[in-house]
A and B are shown apart, each in its own frame.
Chain A
Amino acid sequence: MISPAESTKSIRLEILRQDTPSSQGYWQTFDVPITPASNVTSLLRTISGRPVTSDGRNVAPPAYEASCLEEVCGSCTMVINGRVRQACSTLVRRLMAESPGSPITIEPMTKFPVIRDLIVDRSRMFENLKRIKAWIPIDGSFNLGAGPKITPEQQHTMYPLSRCMSCGSCLEACPQFTRDNHFLGAQIFSMARYYNMHPNGKPDADARMEVLMGDGGITDCGNSQNCVRVCPKDIPLTESIGVIGRSATVYSIKKFFSK
């Protein structure tokens, strides 16, 4: 780690802060030393070591979530220079190349309730996973032999879907997903597609379709395609939305004739 004393260049950070879930947000500015390898989480960590604003006030360090620092856990998702992304994989030198001379602005995600500063409550994403039965029901953990054979083609379709780290970027960018509606969003459509594809996930497929066709379901998707543009893992989210849309049509017809 490089301590502030070892670095000469610095950059200005403007951070949108909020002390509690019910209080008003306010901006605070910090000048933070940087190195060629700096990323946004390392700047936030540096501030924690010396939480002094640009105008020399001692303040509480901005609160933020971070864990793996290699863009695989999803924790440090925030809005940086107006775009949702992971703070760990957002390199300062790239931000400086994008907008030379400008300060870096950091805000919490807007589609989830703020807990404090850059921390938001994303529990809605995990609750939605429960609603769509996001699991393969197994007959217990005893030794019952291997699972079904999966062709490489199936695996190539499923594996990218399973890399979703529940970061919420797709929901932050989605015009349909708001704090007060029940829209499920691309994360859930894509995960439902994943479980419906797996041979042992199929038994719950109809139950999933019921949820996906209910309040906040697939028909509310406005097809803006923002989700796929911001997904850090390049998950083919719009393809998943298409697949779920078609499944919904098939499912309605099936339901109509089985009445």
Chain B
Amino acid sequence: MAHQRVIVVGGGLAGLSTSMKLAEDGVAVDLFSLVPVKRSHSVCAQGGINACNEVARQQGYSEWEHFDETVFGGDFLANQPPVLEMTKMAPAIIDLLDRMGVPFSRTSEGNRDLRLFGGSLYKRTFYAGATTGQQLLYALDEQVRHHEVQGHITKYEFWDFLAPILDDAGRCVGIVAQDLRTMQIRAFRGDAVVMATGGNGLIFGQSTMSIICTGSGTARCYAAGARLGNPEFVQVHPTAIPGEDKCRLMSESARGEGGRIWVPKKKADSRHPNDIPENERDYFLERLYPKYKNIVPRDIATREIFYICEQGYGIGGGQMVYLDLTEKATGIPYEVLKGKLGGILEIYEKFVGVDPLIEPMRIYPAVHYSMGGLWVDFARDDKTGGMQKANPRNHMTNLTGLYAAGEADYQYHGANRLGANSLLSCIFTGLFAAPGMREYIKGQRPVAELSQRLFDGGVEQQQAAQAKLLNSKGTDNPYLMHRELGRAMSDNVTIIRCDSKLRQTLALIESLKERYQNNLGLPDSGMWNNQSLGFARACWDMLLLGEAVTTAALAREESRGSHYKIPDDLMDRHDIPLEKRSLPRDDGNWLKTTLVTYVDGKAQLSYEPVDTSLVTPRARNYGKVVAPAAAKAPVPEAAGAGT
């Protein structure tokens, strides 16, 4: 086994935890990344990481509650055994990160502090200020650097993954990649390949994601035959600073620490927010969800914000609401919040020019996370209800030897991810799936013994495709085509969806694909650090993924989690509440996983059942009060944990 190697593509939390665990188990790793791994998108995660803990446990919380909240939060679309396994391992992951030196925020006694997060009534989120993702990424980056120095891991930074290499039997035996500086295209042999390439926010134009999050790693595997799972489930985060280049996230921890969302009761109120008295503010999440208040899950908060703005109550009548962290609204002193949320307060101050502890922030929802992604398998453990340890099937895509981990895969979050579960799922997948990869390669013929012809063929194919791109002399600039795609996806395939607009979007994507193939113009044809070439490739990938997301959304005739479907004729009936306008969740027909396969240049759909072996799906409304609180009594809780 000593000469067998695993290729990991992507150096965020999932890629680094996979690499670390493989290296620890004596498997050599080649780690590929578009950027120095320390600059991966995981740095943008802010709020924290969830795990059952002693304080919560002594108040009645448990790993089971964390599991239940996660599948409930995901509107029951997640396969349950993997979620159970993840929530069971979460406390040990926190301890491991602690041993690695993550500077978790501390209590006066020196314990790791906890905060409240969406979808839970218990404090079960560990954090390091408001830059938790950055701190976790750095800790794993350090561990990987240690392995690198010891010769266990070889890094290929500023390399772009172009395609998996499959042998005649369809087994993945390596990758083709390109050095982004010299533009050299090379084949690398790998006894297994792991895609840890993150989400695809860029297909929506602006999102909270880094601009490297084009989904190209996923798309290139999809084009090679890997299936996607649930691509139509796209998280729109309720609170971001709207921006023309990117929407900058304002962490859910702002609300977990006491921040409140409101709009003026008077439409288009032109007063400064600090001049609007308490009784003239509508804290609508608190009014509608008296139990969870501002920490309802993201899909719900996002739709309420969207709806209140649709009603004309947004700031100045537009599409923005207040996220209030001032002492007047929260009752929490300036210095306390400064200490806990410094990282995000700085971002707001730098980009907007206002101190959000003095003046309420103006925010609006933005695309944030891809619940869907590469379909991956799992091996259920009938004794525990979780996953079998070290089983090679865990996290393997439908292509033998090709694995996916982290945001790139579709597992764990169902139709809506709970805040602070992504850092957990990224680290968990690496740690849990790596032993299965180790077992898988043990049983395979080492790829070092395979004929060179297969690998040369992969390189030649990419060189030919590249030559065609470099010769494109049309007039369509890839950066501008991307804007067209992003605008349509953001307008039609996010918070609420209707069939006519989804069809319109598919038609646009079809025409963009045609223009791409016939009229692309590359602004740079050089062979040294040519960024236009890389972006043009990613632009095609985004068209493929946009098509997969939209096709899957069009087919799903129900509303579930982040996907809300409204019949065409009701789309603009702003007088009807969103719940009444939209199709209901339909477990009879749609409690199933969407599978998308790329066949003859098109997205082809099929479905498989969801594993709901542990808890039975139940109604999900987080105790929403249907009529105005003042007029009617709240409806009975239909969706409490454990019912």
Contact = CB atoms under 8 A, between A and B. Distances in A.
Q: Do A and B bind each other?
A: yes
Interface of A: 1-3, 19-20, 35, 37-39, 41-42, 45, 48-51, 58, 60-61, 63, 65-75, 88-89, 91, 115-116, 119, 122-123, 126, 129-130, 133-138, 140-141, 143-147, 149-152, 154-155, 158-159, 162-163, 165-166, 195, 198, 200-201
Given A41-B245, A141-B431, A49 B350 contact: no
Contacts of B248: 69-70
B92 A143 contact: yes
Nearest to B181: A115
B217 to A, nearest CB: 15
Interface SS of chain A: loop
B101 A159 contact: no
A130 B103 contact: no
B106 A155 contact: yes
Contacts of A49: 477, 479-480, 483
Contacts of B38: 74, 126, 165-166
B576 interface: no
Q: Chain B: interface residue count, which band?
A: 35 or more
B210 A115 contact: no
Contact of A48 (B206, B350, B523): B523
Contact of A147 (B20, B99, B431, B530): B99
B44 A72 contact: yes
Interface in B143-181: 143, 145-146, 148-149, 181
Nearest to B248: A70
A45 B479 contact: yes
A60 B103 contact: no
A1 B107 contact: no
Nearest to A91: B351
Contacts of A75: 35, 39
The 3 nearest A-B residue pairs measured at CB? A149-B110, A147-B98, A135-B142
A155 B523 contact: no
A45 B148 CA distance: 34
A20 to B, nearest CB: 6
Given A37-B244, A58-B523, A116-B528, A67 B479 contact: no
B317 interface: no
Given A51-B524, A73-B35, A135-B143, 12 more contacts: A42-B244, A58-B523, A68-B41, A69-B210, A69-B211, A69-B246, A72-B44, A73-B210, A115-B529, A122-B36, A130-B148, A136-B100
Interface in B79-103: 92, 94-96, 98-101, 103
B143 A138 contact: yes
Contact of A89 (B20, B145, B206, B351): B351
B400 interface: no
A146 B54 CA distance: 12
B205 A1 contact: yes
18 contacts: A2-B244, A42-B244, A42-B245, A45-B479, A60-B523, A60-B524, A60-B530, A61-B531, A68-B41, A69-B211, A72-B134, A73-B41, A136-B99, A136-B142, A141-B96, A145-B95, A198-B101, A200-B99
A149 B99 CA distance: 10
A3 B131 CA distance: 32
B523 A126 contact: no
A77 to B, nearest CB: 11
Contact of B483 (A3, A60, A119, A151): A3
Contacts of B210: 67-69, 73
A68 B43 CA distance: 8
Given A20-B528, A152-B107, A155-B105, A70 B246 contact: yes
A61 B110 contact: no
A136 B101 contact: yes
B643 interface: no
B143 to A, nearest CB: 6
Interface in B36-74: 36, 38-41, 43-44
Interface in B10-36: 20-21, 24, 35-36
A67 B211 contact: yes
Contact of A63 (B21, B477, B480, B529): B529
Contacts of B524: 51, 60-61
Interface of B: 20-21, 24, 35-36, 38-41, 43-44, 92, 94-96, 98-101, 103-112, 128-129, 131, 134-135, 138-139, 142-143, 145-146, 148-149, 181, 205-206, 210-212, 243-246, 248-249, 343, 347, 350-351, 353, 431, 477, 479-480, 483, 486-487, 523-524, 526, 528-532, 535
A150 B128 CA distance: 13
A137 B146 contact: yes
A159 B143 contact: no
Contact of A45 (B35, B107, B245): B245
Nearest to B522: A60
Given A75-B35, A155-B103, A134 B526 contact: no
A141 B19 CA distance: 12
A158 B523 contact: no
A76 B146 CA distance: 26
Nearest to A3: B483
Contacts of B95: 143-147
B285 to A, nearest CB: 25
B154 to A, nearest CB: 14
Contacts of A89: 350-351
Given A1-B245, A51-B523, A73 B101 contact: no
A151 B106 contact: yes
Contacts of B98: 146-147
Given A19-B528, A147-B101, A69 B245 contact: yes
A174 B595 CA distance: 54
Contacts of B99: 136, 138, 144, 146-147, 200
Contacts of A91: 351, 353
B46 to A, nearest CB: 9
B41 A67 contact: yes
Contact of A163 (B131, B145, B477, B529): B131
Contacts of B36: 122-123, 126, 166
B138 to A, nearest CB: 6
Contacts of B94: 146
Contacts of B131: 72, 163
Nearest to B526: A60
B24 A140 contact: yes
Contacts of A138: 96, 99-100, 143
B109 to A, nearest CB: 8
A50 B259 CA distance: 42
